[in-house]
Amino acid sequence: MTINIDIYLKLEDKYYQKGGSFSTLSPFNGAVDAAKYAYIYIKQFKKEHGSKEVQIYKVIYEETIDITEEVQKLYKNRNLYLVK
């Protein structure tokens, strides 16, 4: 299955719109798993930019589903499986 995710970030004083299509593993658990894919992408983005602090403004799954809060929780906890 392929999913689409749009990610809006701020790094220092610059804004970025990132994302694209991601191939998923089965079984796929909708927005919960989409948030994990977005989190992994953001970690890679951060690493590419010297591990500077990244602010997550909005994350949209399949053009209409807002998963921003779920991604922010994963990012805050730095763990794919621990969501508080």
pLDDT tens by residue, 12-70: 999 999 988 988 888 888 888 899 999 999 999 999 998 788 999 999 999 999 999 99
7, 41 contact by CB (below 8 A)? yes
Q: What is the pTM of this model?
A: 0.84
pLDDT for 84 equals 43
pLDDT for 81 equals 64
48 in a structural domain: yes
Q: In angstroms, rounded to a whole number, what is the distance separating the alpha carbons of residues 31 and 61?
A: 7
Q: For the chain, what is the domain count? A: 1
Its domain, for residue 54, covers: 2-77
35 in a structural domain: yes
pLDDT for 72 equals 94
4, 20 contact by CB (below 8 A)? yes
83 in a structural domain: no
pLDDT for 83 equals 47
82 in a structural domain: no
